[in-house]
Amino acid sequence: MEFLARNVAEAVDPPHPEHTNMATLAPDDISTFLATAKKTHYYTLFDIALFTRMRRGELLALTWANIDLDMATISVTQMLHRLSNGQYVIRQPKSSKSRRQVDLPPTLALLLRQYEAEQELEKNLSG
């Protein structure tokens, strides 16, 4: 049975997790970043990321069905997840708190309307 007379784990100092500060952009850096991003196809995605604070997997799983431009909201109902074998799948968010409505600033709603119109034009031109 080899019972111990005391708890030997009490003699050990447990490791403490290291808290790291998240690197964020300063307000001046945001405008510089967006001005540079405007030259790419990813500008709208970056704009949504900066002004909604959505997670990368949530952004990459967005579809037009998740976006209500009349109400200026995005419904977060799914996310892109990478499996251990390297494949990607769309899943529901892990927690009920992650499923949420995100309000869009008016300027972002307008940008998304323009982006949707551009996508529709490209779709019609490509047949």
Give the pTM: 0.76
Give pLDDT tens digits for 29-78.
Answer: 999 999 999 999 999 999 999 999 999 999 999 999 999 999 999 999 99
pLDDT category of residue 127 using cuts at 50, 70 and 90: confident
Contact 103, 71 (CB under 8 A): no
User: Tell me, what's the pLDDT at 17?
Assistant: 87
Q: Which of 64, 52, 55 is nearest to 105 (CA)?
A: 52
Structural contact between residues 94 and 108, judged by C-beta atoms closer than 8 angstroms: no
Place of tokens 């990478």: 82
Annotate 72-108 with DSSP letters as a single string. Answer: TEEEE--EEEE-TTS-EEEE--SSTTTSEEEEPPHHH
